[in-house]
Structure 1
Amino acid sequence: CLPTCEPDFHTLIRATEIGGDTDSNAAMIGAIVGGRTGVKSLEQEHINQVYQSDYIRKIGEEFGLAIIHHLDQSNKKN
């Protein structure tokens, strides 16, 4: 579905409607769409339904900063 669909939340819904291993498909497509479009592609009403969404966002931001720091340190060694 990804090659022919717009990368948005509705792509994720369409992927689950195809059938098969829908939870795995949704997880993989969610990661791909999220990586491509970022959190801005999510509607606030969907974010509000996620348990501890603020905490999850904070962990994601801290993880991103840790990766940037690690890459920066690796580049300084080279």
Structure 2
Amino acid sequence: MESPNAPSNQQPSPKMVVPVDLLISLTTVPLLVGLVGTKALTQVAQELGQLSEEVFRGDRLPLLKFPSQPSSIDTGDPH
């Protein structure tokens, strides 16, 4: 029987070591794309908001003609 302190013939399995520089370089591109994309989406949202303000401002809406006197249909008077 072997003692637990005795050297074993099995070699430890090699562990995959990923350098930190590689991890940083792999995460840089998605981070930059996310920042640029967020900036672009913000600009689009602001422009859309400004366009919707122009539509609902009323400057470009047509003027509607309302009757100045109520018609006989509204009052219920047959004459």
Q: TM-score, normalised by structure 1?
A: 0.35
Q: TM-score, normalised by structure 2?
A: 0.34
